[in-house]
Structure 1
């Protein structure tokens, strides 16, 4: 069932958009993304509130540099278009988690070509679950808050005044589900329950996490986050990094299932479009060059 603060109709509508036909933006598919090269060392992705001010500024600046002009073919916009044009390959299907893991790693690699010190952070939104609009992550010191005016433009934070290209040229938009408030999300205890009660198969867990826990963050923030063009909003990256962390945590708790996949074939032969890599190549985060802190319902940023 739908989670706290988001109607089942809105949540299912967001997921159904993954299978919608046609491209309402440019018809050119932006698939030529940065190639993730083997890391010299395995880094640890941190909760964004644990970054130093310098680390946070470097991360924001690298994202801005990737989006350094409003040309349709800038590298940031190619990520946005890839997410949209391959929405049916990465949403509502078994590949949801490995597809986004590869997508995130490619984005992180693109940022590291700009600033090698940058490591993609995650946003543990369970810590903000009961009053999301009060989150420091949605303050002017981080990503900014609700959109304002008739166009719901984001006017504060690191990405104030951003113009995004798809599906048409517009300001970065957010429209909170409660007007000035955001409907509640899954709490730490609720996510613990998801982790602990979906241990029969990978796809059981994938289905349990992709729906309301993941989708409610998208639809309750609203605006660009509620569309399949959600990477227009830089919040999407830190949101999905946390979803990736939860998969990694589930893998760590279920080592017998860590390398399993239910996608109509073996992980070694399932190819993730448009990346041209197997699902199997995404199953070990350390092989991709990163890891996460262990997580539990009692975890808190240091």
Structure 2
């Protein structure tokens, strides 16, 4: 019976694929912040996910991710492959409910204390299981069948807490300083991407990490950040190399799927029939609110505090803000405007993010030198921002 149901959905998916290949999007779904979903909306999402797992689809995706692991990490297929992978998951979910869309987890909002995130509450996906079976949230009581029969586990990297992730300010800086896909991909993959997987542990820290629905929430957020970066003049930016060292361009074929990389580059066209809540913000000087929108915080506070940074700091870490502020005539002509101590007393000092573990670096066959370079960059950013008394509202 399960095999019959999977075959039925497979051929339905083939029809959807052919339809999209022949034209554009007849309908576009919106991927929303998971915390914005009402209980009824989350129940609808949960129902689809449970049925997908019962029919073997979580096994299907874990198998793909595990088999293609070396082809989709540590090289520049990372972003386009995962966009296509999430779309595959979403389209299959739409066979159960045509309104199904993968939510995203705005992890930057929770970067200071990830374990306290409402996403990890029993209302949504549940929290730590200390390496044992997850007992709360969406996947409580589920049997995962890849690579063998087991219950889903999580094992936070600091006991009942997690080490801090990367701040909205740092990721915002990365998005401004890297104009090529290769540099942008490395700076994200070697920072936020890894810290979330490692922080949660359990299945999320394995090569078959898509067993945990946190994977989909996480990669939807990374894709959202990539989409925001693309809207800043990088809509068709694709460069770098694949696992074998060959150059990647828009005509390169994605691992497993075989689609052209170029077919994934723009949302709302070709097969990419989705968008993100809030759209994109093309005015980079005020775009920090697009990177993280924390509940109970005024994201414009971060823009206000960034505007008080010494000009030399803006030029180094936020070159687009410096350029656009200068074009608006709102920067001080001095090379440094001094401490921010006299500014509004809101927010807290930045903290160091968690480094990638040696085991994680080895599992992915990352360039250890490059990983260390990104980690040093992130720590230098924290040091310099704290030195001028920058206070983060996040």
Q: Please give the TM-score of this superposition, normalised by the length of structure 1.
A: 0.82
Give the corresponding residue for 1:225: 204
Alignment deviations for residues 235-275 of structure 1 (CA, whole Å, 9 cap, x no partner): 100100001011111100124x6343323345343111210
Once the two structures are superposed, residues 137-162 of structure 1 have per-residue CA deviations (whole angstroms, 9 ceiling, x without a partner) of 000000001014xx421100121111
Matched, 1:132 2:123: no
Alpha-carbon distance between aligned partners in 2 of 1:173 and 1:266, rounded to the nearest angstrom:
36
Give 1:97 deviation, angstroms: 0.3
Higher relative contact order (CA 8 A, sep 6+): 1
Native 8 Å contact 1:183 1:220 kept in 2: yes
Write the deviation string for residues 33-78 of structure 1: whole angstroms up to 9, x where unpaired. 9455434222321111112222211111111110015xxxx22211
- Residue 301 of structure 1 deviates from its aligned partner by 6.2
Question: Is there any run of 5+ residues in structure 2 with no aligned partner, and where?
Answer: 1-9, 282-286, 296-394
**Paired residue total:** 263
1:178 paired with 2:162, answer no
Match in the other structure for 1:300:
293
Match of 1:144 in 2: 126
Deviations 1:102-123 (A, max 9, x none): 0000000000111111111110
The alignment's C-alpha RMSD in Å is 1.9
Aligned to 1:121: 103
Shift of 1:212: 1.7
Q: CA deviation at 1:227?
A: 0.6
Q: Which residue in 2 is equivalent to 1:240?
A: 219
- Off by >6 Å, runs of 4+ in structure 1: none
Aligned residue number for residue 271 of structure 1: 253
Output the CA distance in 2 between the equivalents of 1:219 and 1:185: 10
**Higher helix fraction (1 or 2):** 2
8 Å CA contact retained: 2:71, 2:77:
yes
The gaps in structure 1 that reach 5 residues or longer are: 1-31
Counterpart among 274, 288, 291 of residue 275 in structure 2: 291
User: Could you tell which deviates more after superposition, 101-110 or 158-167?
Assistant: 158-167
2:187 match: 208
Q: Residue 90 and residue 212 in structure 1: after superposition, are their counterparts in 2 closer, same or farther (change >3 A)?
A: same
Partner of 2:338 in structure 1?
none
Name the CA distance, whole Å, in 1 between partners of 2:204 and 2:115.
15
The residue aligned with 2:238 is 260
**Structure 2 Cα separation of the partners of residues 143 and 164 of structure 1:** 15
